[in-house]
């Protein structure tokens, strides 16, 4: 089983899978080159080898095992039990109504906007006015990425919910989602073939290769592995990669490894949070102080400043 962030567990396996296609001295060559940027190690690997053979062998390696994918969201205990029983269901916009009503009804202006809920759900679901989430389940390759970089799913839940909440009540509506459910990280063991298919939701692998591009997942694993050869202390989790897998059917319950309740992040990483969830693009991080070092009171003060600048009530 391949957990991207745990390179200590899989780097040796990939070395074995590629050994027939690697020249003698590849490790010393990469170490001597001392690539500064992570892509440089992979580029040098391809210069020294048959690129297509390396890609083919990596595809075979991935298909021979399972790939761990992660899904981050906010869930009640009842919702956790449902996923354990039924698996991860593709998003149905109409099914989000209860959660949105539950979370947003605490707002003092809820009665003024409640009648618009179904219209917003239609617009961001079947209407696909921004993006496309209907009938899809998303997983990502890196736990570190989901918990430390694009962590707005853990602070606020479904991106669909965030868009609808903001449509109705602005940033105050989005903030209410933080108080509904608890942050959960769902670990999924995806069969290798299914992982590769899900990582190419719009163009298949051969189309990608025909354009001269690397297949998804393959590029991620080779990038981390080749850089690890050059820099033996490198850890893949530091990349916090955002490499997605899109499923258009149920992710079955027998693929689930665990549903982890994680510590509630203070705030999402602003650079990866949807613009709609902020009201406008901007940072809530004060100069000279990292977001993770701020207290809840300081964060609330910074948010108040931003809303004041935007003219929000």
Among 17, 23, 49, 45, CA closest to 229: 45
Tens digit of each residue's pLDDT (9 = 90 or more) over 24-33: 999 999 999 9
Span 5-14, average pLDDT:
97
Number of compact structural domains in the chain: 2
d(CA 94, CA 69): 26
Tell me: do 231 and 145 sit in the same domain: no
Q: Tell me the angle at which helices 117-124 and 97-104 cross, rounded to the nearest 10 degrees.
A: 130
pLDDT of 306 over the 80 cut: no
Q: Which residues contact 309 (CB under 8 A, 6 or more apart)?
A: none
Q: Whole-model pTM above 0.85?
A: no
d(CA 253, CA 284): 38
Span 257-267, average pLDDT:
84
The count of other CB atoms within 10 Å of the CB of residue 116 is 13
Query: Tokens in use for 233?
Result: 């202390």
Q: Which residues contact 169 (CB under 8 A, 6 or more apart)?
A: 104, 107, 109, 110, 113, 176
More confident site: 192 or 283: 192
pLDDT of 47 over the 60 cut: yes
Query: Tokens in use for 105?
Result: 């009804």
Give the Cα-Cα-Cα angle 175, 176, 182 (nearest 5 degrees): 100
More confident site: 133 or 93: 93
Is 250 inside a domain boundary?
no
Tell me: do 51 and 155 sit in the same domain: no
Beta strands in the chain (DSSP E): 66-75, 137-140, 182-191, 244-247, 256-261
Starting from the edge strand earliest in sequence, which strands make up the sheet with 137-140, in order?
244-247, 137-140, 66-75, 182-191, 256-261
Tell me: do 180 and 72 sit in the same domain: yes
Say how far residue 11 (Cα) sits from the centre of its chain.
22
Reported confidence tier of residue 52, pLDDT bands at 50, 70, 90: very high
Tens digit of each residue's pLDDT (9 = 90 or more) over 88-110: 999 999 999 999 999 999 999 99
Is 251 inside a domain boundary?
no
What's the chain's average pLDDT? 86
Q: Which domain holds residue 143?
A: 68-188+257-310
Tell me: do 39 and 167 sit in the same domain: no
Is 2 inside a domain boundary?
no
pLDDT of 70 over the 50 cut: yes
pLDDT of 181 over the 70 cut: yes
Tens digit of each residue's pLDDT (9 = 90 or more) over 194-242: 999 999 998 899 999 999 999 999 999 999 999 999 999 999 999 999 9
């Amino acid at each position: 089983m391949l957990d991207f962030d745990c390179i200590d567990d899989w780097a040796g396996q990939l070395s074995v899978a590629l050994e027939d296609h690697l020249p003698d001295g590849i490790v010393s060559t990469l170490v001597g080159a001392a690539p500064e940027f992570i892509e440089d190690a992979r580029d040098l690997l391809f210069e020294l080898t048959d690129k297509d053979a390396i890609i083919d062998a990596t595809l075979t390696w991935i298909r021979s095992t399972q790939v761990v994918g992660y899904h981050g969201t906010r869930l009640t205990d009842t919702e956790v039990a449902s996923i354990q029983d039924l698996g991860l269901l593709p998003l149905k916009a109409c099914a989000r109504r209860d959660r949105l009503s539950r979370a947003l009804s605490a707002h003092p202006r809820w009665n003024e906007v409640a009648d618009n809920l179904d219209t917003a759900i239609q617009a961001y679901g079947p209407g696909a006015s921004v993006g496309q989430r209907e009938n899809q389940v998303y997983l990502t390759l890196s736990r570190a990425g989901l918990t430390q970089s694009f962590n707005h799913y853990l602070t606020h839940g479904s991106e669909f919910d965030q868009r609808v909440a903001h449509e109705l009540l602005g940033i105050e509506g989005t903030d209410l989602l933080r108080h509904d459910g608890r942050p959960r990280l769902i670990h999924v063991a995806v069969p290798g073939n299914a992982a590769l298919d899900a990582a190419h939701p719009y163009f298949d692998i051969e189309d990608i290769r025909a354009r001269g591009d690397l297949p998804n997942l393959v590029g991620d694993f080779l990038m981390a592995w080749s850089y690890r050869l050059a820099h033996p202390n490198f850890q893949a989790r530091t990349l916090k990669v955002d490499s997605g897998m899109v499923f258009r059917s149920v992710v079955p319950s027998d693929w689930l490894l665990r549903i982890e309740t994680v510590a509630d992040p203070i705030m999402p990483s602003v650079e990866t949070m949807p613009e709609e969830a902020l009201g406008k693009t901007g940072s809530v991080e004060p100069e000279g102080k990292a977001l993770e070092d701020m207290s809840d009171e300081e964060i609330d003060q910074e948010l108040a400043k931003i809303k004041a600048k935007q003219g929000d009530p």
